[in-house]
Structure 1
Amino acid sequence: MQTNDSYYQNKKEFRLFVTETYTNLRQLKNEGNQTSFNDLVLKIMPQIRQYVNTQLNTAIRKGHFSKNKHKADEIIDQLFIEIYDHIDDVKQAEDFYLWLFKKTNDLLDDIIVEEEFDEFFFKNIDDYTKPEWDEMQEKYSIDGGGDLIMVEELNDSSYNHNDYTLNHVFIENDENDWIKKIDKDLTSEDIQHHIAMVLYNLPSPMRTVFELATQQHLELDEIAQLRNSTFDEVEQLLTDAKKALQVSFFNRYPLK
């Protein structure tokens, strides 16, 4: 299995950067220097914007609202206000990263209605054949408005693009033969698109927990705080999401 040390390092560096901005932001607010405050906040927004885009575009694909009804800029603009008005609520720098994502999630929850649990997909995930998975992938490449999404658009940050890897799905190397086959037969883009397609069909809580754990590197206890859930509930959601992804890979790309 290919590792992605540089990717993880960059993610960890981003969290460290967010933590380190906290003291400067508090100082700038105390000085009443909102212009410099906003300039510094702007530097931490690209990663937040990607997370917001992922959530909004999934909602659009599922038909919760039209493409033009909500934009990431709405969330980001409001987040600037929330950070400036309420940063004093954060008691220590180490809490700022989690607080930032909780504020972002609260703003998203105001406009996205969580869809009903897709029991049929989840219950039957063991039974889907390779042709059925291929058909789902093709359908996934069509947006909520019925328009074809080109590969270039799927790779664009305004669509559901994340750096998903096999490391996010398989913790142990118990399936070495299969993993070697996948590494040989599939490109990193193929793997990313398959994971994104399966996540799209999973229930929203599983999708969100997987995203926060693998893309934003939040710990399970932090995700539990963010979602107002118990640790056990979050752990089970992540386990179920990974299990569904594992089964989907095995069934779509079986060893011959």
Structure 2
Amino acid sequence: MNTNMAHSKKQEVLRLRIENSFQQLKRLKKQKNRESFNKELLELLPDIKKHINRRLTVALKKEYFPKNKYSVDDFVSQLFIEVYDNIDTVKEEKHLYLWLFKKTNELLEDVIVEEEFDDFFFKNIDTYSKLEWDAMEQEFSVDAGRDFVMMEEFDDVSYSHEGYTLNHVFVEDNKKALIDKIDKSLDDKTIANHLKTVLYNLPLSMQDVYELYAEQKFSLAEIAEIRNMAVEDVETLLKDARKALQVSLFNRYPAQ
């Protein structure tokens, strides 16, 4: 659990850093100093670039847009333009972090055309054998190596364990004993790789909601704002993602 606490602190520091840059960005915009504006903004974007990279990688795997048509840099460049042109619409510094993700999501949604909800994996998640889970994790590892950018740029984000811990999966108070039991049986890397494998096979909307919640520490209301959907729908997607993760753990590691 220490990993999760450290990650939460890291996200708090990042939000504060972005908020502290707000007035500087507005001053640079007022001065029409686009070069310095972009330089300042670039320092704030590592997590957003990770988010774009992850969304594009999964979308490509699921064939939601043509291969080699887009790159992470394409979206980052467009995001620079959007932020520079529209930052004056952000009234308070505390809204900037959410607004950046909302703008990013709008850019992604313009090009990623999701198919109708495919619930085959979700409905059958309690039927897979350990061998099938092992094969899926191997496939995930191979696909993760085909990301749009070199992973070294993002501190090896494909294998980072931040945001992929049990206390995001089991939130009920009566599950603490179960969390402790799994924690003692499986190391952080094993847990993280399993959770990422399951998420990778879930619908994009479910993945996105879970990762915005667990990885970026957004509230349900903030995620609803980012994704332009009702809070109730966000809550349902998060609940379904947790259910899939819980069932998968029970079935893959029944003896733990």
1:127 partner SS: coil
**Where does residue 85 of structure 2 map in the other structure?**
85
**Where does residue 207 of structure 2 map in the other structure?**
207
1:140-197 superposed Cα distances (whole Å, 9 cap, x missing partner): 2333999xxxx99xx833x585621112211235345543443233332221211111
**Where does residue 31 of structure 1 map in the other structure?**
31
**Where does residue 122 of structure 2 map in the other structure?**
122
Question: Structure 2: how far apart are the matches of 1:41 and 1:245?
Answer: 35
Report deviation, 1:40.
0.8
Q: Does the alignment pair 1:190 with 2:190? A: yes
Is the deviation greater in 136-145 or in 213-222?
136-145
Q: State, as a whole percentage, how many aligned pairs show the same letter.
A: 49
Q: Does the alignment pair 1:250 with 2:250? A: yes
1:82-105 superposed Cα distances (whole Å, 9 cap, x missing partner): 111110111221221111111100
Report deviation, 1:3.
5.6
Is the deviation greater in 181-190 or in 212-221?
181-190
**Where does residue 57 of structure 1 map in the other structure?**
57
Q: Which amino acid aligns with 2:101?
A: F
1:44-76 superposed Cα distances (whole Å, 9 cap, x missing partner): 011111111110111122233455332111111
* Alpha-carbon distance change, 90 to 169 in structure 1, aligned in 2, over 3 angstroms: same
Question: Structure 1: how far apart are the matches of 2:144 and 2:60?
Answer: 6
1:174 partner SS: helix
Is the deviation greater in 66-75 or in 222-231?
66-75
**Where does residue 103 of structure 1 map in the other structure?**
103
Q: Which amino acid aligns with 1:113?
A: V
Question: Structure 2: how far apart are the matches of 1:132 and 1:2?
Answer: 31
Report deviation, 1:34.
1.8
With structure 1 as the length reference, what TM-score do the two structures score?
0.88
Structure richer in helix, relative to its length? 2
1:1-29 superposed Cα distances (whole Å, 9 cap, x missing partner): 55621210001111121122111111111
Is the deviation greater in 240-249 or in 3-12?
3-12
* Alpha-carbon distance change, 95 to 137 in structure 1, aligned in 2, over 3 angstroms: same
With structure 2 as the length reference, what TM-score do the two structures score?
0.88
The unaligned stretches of length 5 or more in structure 1 are: none
Is the deviation greater in 125-134 or in 31-40?
125-134
* Contact 1:28–1:37 (8 Å) recurs in 2: yes
The unaligned stretches of length 5 or more in structure 2 are: none
**Where does residue 73 of structure 1 map in the other structure?**
73
Q: Which amino acid aligns with 2:223?
A: I
1:141 partner SS: helix
* Contact 1:224–1:230 (8 Å) recurs in 2: yes
